[in-house]
Chains A and B, each alone.
Chain A
């Protein structure tokens, strides 16, 4: 049902590299979100967006940045990856009429 896509599904990268996690949705949703989740732990909201050119920081402080140039696209960037960034990153979206959150499959990031 959900048309929200995250790439890559898995990423192993060395310390200091710049990475971008992609998230796209084809549902025309205005609101998009990034969550971070460690194994067996809570989901923490790190970024969200109300629409194009809107970005806000969530509850959990993150060194990542996001952009929202197009409605369907909400990429997350880490300028210099560190082992402490190892985690799963989940993208979600929601329309203004339908209150359900739709999640992507997530990106499992490992920084060596």
Chain B
């Protein structure tokens, strides 16, 4: 799996868009970018994933740069419940390498 780099922590005002960056400069052509989040001590929750096109679902949007070396997860209207650790992972969809590495992620705090 390609190594990803994320800021350690970020703050965002409630109601604003939260933009979480991720660098994955060594990503290979068959690796997707996945985002998960972990609220307090619960199990991580899948958010979204994409290959090279931007993706949107009911939770978030994912913007991937044209060279695929970085991406941004966007939470359009952050709420207090979005306070969590967000993990960016680059991996093939078939998880050929099963040792999926989550890293330390970004601790996002939503400020009231």
Contacts and interface: CB of A to CB of B under 8 A. Distances in A.
- For chain A, which range describes its interface: under 10, 10 to 19, 20 to 34, or 35 or more residues? 20 to 34
Given A42-B103, A99-B93, A101-B36, A106 B42 contact: yes
Given A103-B44, A105-B42, A42 B99 contact: no
Nearest to B36: A101
A58 B102 CA distance: 13
B79 to A, nearest CB: 19
A92 B103 CA distance: 17
A101 B103 contact: no
Given A88-B41, A101-B36, A59 B46 contact: no
Interface string A42-75: 1101001010000010110000000000000000
B99 A101 contact: no
A106 B45 CA distance: 12
Interface residues of B, number: 19
Summarize A's interface: helix, strand, loop or mixed: strand
Main secondary structure of the interface of B (DSSP, over half): loop
B60 to A, nearest CB: 14
Given A31-B95, A31-B98, A42 B104 contact: yes
Contacts of B68: none
Interface of A: 31, 33, 35, 39, 41-43, 45, 48, 50, 56, 58-59, 88, 90-92, 94, 99-106, 108
30 contacts: A31-B95, A31-B98, A35-B102, A39-B41, A41-B104, A42-B104, A43-B44, A43-B102, A45-B100, A58-B99, A59-B99, A88-B41, A90-B43, A90-B44, A91-B43, A92-B43, A99-B49, A99-B93, A99-B94, A99-B95, A100-B46, A100-B49, A101-B46, A102-B46, A103-B43, A103-B45, A105-B42, A106-B41, A106-B42, A108-B41
Of all A-B residue pairs in the complex, the 3 with the closest CB atoms, nearest first, are A103-B43, A100-B46, A43-B102
